[in-house]
Amino acid sequence: MKKLLFTLLAACSLTSAKADEGMWTLYNLPNAVYETMKQENFELPYNALYYGEDAVKNCVVNFGGFCSGVVVSPDGLVFTNHHCGFEAIRSHSTVEHDYMLNGFVANSYEEELPNKRLFVSFMVEQKDVTAYLDSLGLNKQAQNKRADFVDSVENALSKEIRQQDSTLRVELKPYYEGNQYYLTTYRDFEDVRLVFALPKSMGKFGGETDNWMWPRQTCDFSVFRIYVDPKTGGPAKYSKDNVPYHPKKWAPVSLQGYVPGSFSMTIGYPGSTSRYLSSYGIKERRDAQNEPMYKTRAVKQDIMIRHMRADEAVRIKYDSKYAQSSNYWKNSIGMNKCIDSIGLIQQKAQFEAKIRQWQDSTGFLKGQLDFDLLARLYAKQFKARRALTYFSESFGGRSSDELTRRALRANNGSVVKGDEKNPKKQYIEFKDNSAEWDGPTDREIMAAAMKFYREQVEPQYLPDFYQTVDSKFGGNYQQYIDYLYKKSQLMKSGKKIFINKKSFQKDPGVQFGQSLNNMMMTLYSEAVASYDSIAVQERYLCAAKLRMEEDMPNYSDANFTMRLSYGQVGEYLLAGKPSGYYTTAESIVEKMNRGEQGVIDYEAEPIMKELLSKKDFGKYTDKTTGKMHLCFLSNNDITGGNSGSPMFNGKGELIGLAFDGNWDSLSSDIFFDKQLARCIGVDIRYVLYMMETWGKADRLIKEIGAK
Ligand code: ARG
């Protein structure tokens, strides 16, 4: 009954946190939320989520600082998504042994593959330290000093905790737009090894065509194992002597499935949402961030994919770069569509008008929260903000070409090596990373990016290298780039490049980098000139909302800390028709047939089609529908970073791994649309079925011991 009331309220406005929306921190989960969870058939006691060694939170990990994962065995086996393990899988792949294409199965501990730079973290503890920071004087700090102030406190607390236990780390982060601060303690494990991966045809089935879409058949999982120091049983750097981790808590895996309305809970690490963002901020997101992002990425991706399709070695090099770029290319297109179709900016503006009235009547933050000022501040930085996105998408980031990356780094003091006191001996050096990029691909991307950037931004935002291109190369980007490749020392890997020689200042690659750097500074200073004042106003706006809705539980925006979301399994209306809440083996076979007719994203090995064409899937068959379920939908509230999050049933048993959101609700980072927003998960029975039949991974299946 109470549920119904909640739902009615929820349908009325975008103002309130409502049943099944929300990314809740666990240690202070509001009682009202827990009560709703119970009504929706959550069976565990309140304390089972966070408190004690056996708490559900203890089997959930932050995977690598970009995804989530779950421990599923007493020997430290971790499930995450295939797209989260993607870079690890790729980095072990060569044309000769291509784990990306062919998959990978370790048949013993010895065969499990270590990964440089990969770690998992467990959250040990979290607490509210707002009052403590206040007592230290946080609120007396100017906005532009706040972050430094918080950093310095974090550093001090870090030292303190390390002295108690050297395996611990703390993080001090703002919540509720900086109205509150929580301190979180983590334990990191750095020896994480690859155990199992399906061929990409299955792990990324549907590719970019199906990404962010429903219905879905992607078998988006990969398996890793945590290794520890044999003596302490705790975290250690990689060593061949390390042994599998024996955690106190792991997630029981359930073969029991679900029906529509079944309780479903995700726990994981959502990266970032902007649910409190003002209407002006949303407009900036749409026009100065999303649009420049997808437009620039489209230009680069077209070139990348053409080269990847022509050459397997290039494909391996760019697989991750492409997937990463295209993921948010498509997301930002979808998000902008939703912002407009839902009318989010207008809705938010109406809500702000309501806050304004309430402010007038109560006097809350009078003279401080100022909507006209907020509008002016956003307007002032708009052009530069937009140009900055074009700039960073064209010349920066992981998808940048290698020469541009090196040119920018050459001008970054922090990579200088050698004798600090002797300028003559200071140098920079680029390692041979030729396995990561391809000359012809990069050159073409670089030329296209230069051309595109110029077409998009106001002339005052053009770095001065464009003058060189015009005056010396007749406006021909390709010629300029060929010249850079030929003349610059930057592309000579392994060479010490002394930075205080004349030849350094004269190096055309270094000059190119300087030119980029100068423009970057200009853009930054213009784009963030109002940043602090905006942050203050957005913080006030959030505070006003929280106060106005005091009697409602409110969650803080995602900030890559652990969050719980509860809800149910269930479908939605997709273009006016019921979407269905699960997909079947038949549906993937159908798509595979289209793959055979040339739809690249639906191509898969004949063995996959064979395995999924079976009449009988035995214990992996769903008891309610009599079908083999591949992926399923819930209304859990997730976002990027949640990938690999466990989906639990009401008993806290694992029924799936969250891996995506649906096209119809891509603006949910800004506004959670209860009717439309869905979490797409891969059914754990599909995962185990593939491990057993394709992978013949009996040792792992036994270890997991699903019931
Ligand atoms: N959209 C999903 C996510 O953000 C999957 C991304 C990887 N897949 C892809 N086709 N690029 O978690």
From 67, 211, 332, mutation site for ligand 1 pocket: most ligand atoms within 8 A of C-beta: 211
Burial code of 576-604, b = ≥16 C-beta within 10 A, e = fewer?
A: eeebbbbbbbebbbebbeebeeeeebbbb
Give residue for tokens 């300029």.
480
Question: What's the pLDDT score for residue 19?
Answer: 52
Encoding tokens for residue 248?
């106190």
Question: What's the pLDDT score for residue 4?
Answer: 36
Segment 605-633 mean pLDDT: 98
From 200, 322, 327, 331, mutation site for ligand 1 pocket: most ligand atoms within 8 A of C-beta: 327
pLDDT at 1 over 50: no
Instruction: Read off the pLDDT band of 9 (50, 70, 90).
Output: very low
Residue 660 CA to ligand 1 center (angstroms) comes to 7
Closest to 528 in 3D by CA, of 130, 147, 149, 134: 147
pLDDT at 456 over 70: yes
Please give the model's pTM, rounded to 2 decimal places: 0.93
The answer to whether residues 588 and 217 touch, using CB atoms and an 8 Å cutoff, is: yes
pLDDT at 3 over 60: no
- Out of 98, 191, 210, 220, the active site residue is 220
Segment 269-290 mean pLDDT: 97
pLDDT at 435 over 50: yes
Instruction: Read off the pLDDT band of 528 (50, 70, 90).
Output: confident
- Percent of the chain with pLDDT strictly greater than 70: 97
Mean pLDDT computed over every residue of the chain: 94
Question: What's the pLDDT score for residue 18?
Answer: 47
pLDDT at 290 over 90: yes
Using DSSP, state whether 567 is helix, strand or coil: strand
Question: Burial level of 229, CB count in 10 A (0-12/13-18/19+)?
Answer: middle
Using DSSP, state whether 449 is helix, strand or coil: helix
Q: Which of 397-401, 452-456, 596-600, 660-664 is predicted least confidently?
A: 397-401
448 alpha carbon, distance to own chain's centre: 27
Distance of alpha carbon 634 from alpha carbon 600, whole angstroms: 29
Distance of alpha carbon 300 from alpha carbon 452, whole angstroms: 10
Encoding tokens for residue 677?
């927003």
Segment 398-416 mean pLDDT: 89
**Is 629 in the active site?**
no
pLDDT at 387 over 60: yes
Type of residue at 43: E
**Is 97 in the active site?**
no
pLDDT at 248 over 50: yes
Segment 110-119 mean pLDDT: 97
The answer to whether residues 194 and 174 touch, using CB atoms and an 8 Å cutoff, is: no
pLDDT at 2 over 60: no
Type of residue at 59: C
Distance of alpha carbon 154 from alpha carbon 152, whole angstroms: 5
Compute the CA torsion angle 458, 464, 468, 473 (nearest 10 deg).
Answer: -30
Q: Where are the alpha helices (DSSP H) in 28-182?
A: 31-39, 82-91, 99-102, 130-136, 143-164
- Out of 82, 83, 307, 629, the active site residue is 83
pLDDT at 202 over 50: yes
Helix, strand counts (H, E) of the chain: 24, 22
Cα three-residue angle 420-426-431, rounded to 5 degrees: 120
585 alpha carbon, distance to own chain's centre: 29
For CA atoms 323, 326, 331, 334, give the dihedral sign.
negative
Segment 12-31 mean pLDDT: 73
Distance of alpha carbon 241 from alpha carbon 259, whole angstroms: 45
Q: Where are the alpha helices (DSSP H) in 605-657?
A: 606-612
> Which residues are near ligand 1 (CB < 6 Å)?
83, 204, 207-208, 211-212, 323, 326-327, 640, 643, 659-660
Length of the chain in terms of residues written: 707
Question: What's the pLDDT score for residue 552?
Answer: 87
Strand partners, 567: 264
Helix, strand, coil tally for the chain in percent (to 5): 50, 15, 35
Query: Peptide bond preceding 215: is omega within 30 degrees of 0, i.e. cis?
Result: yes
14 alpha carbon, distance to own chain's centre: 25
Instruction: Read off the pLDDT band of 64 (50, 70, 90).
Output: very high
Residue 215 CA to ligand 1 center (angstroms) comes to 14
**Is 643 in the active site?**
yes
The residue ranking higher by pLDDT, 12 or 397, is: 397
Encoding tokens for residue 389?
């996105």
Distance of alpha carbon 368 from alpha carbon 16, whole angstroms: 23
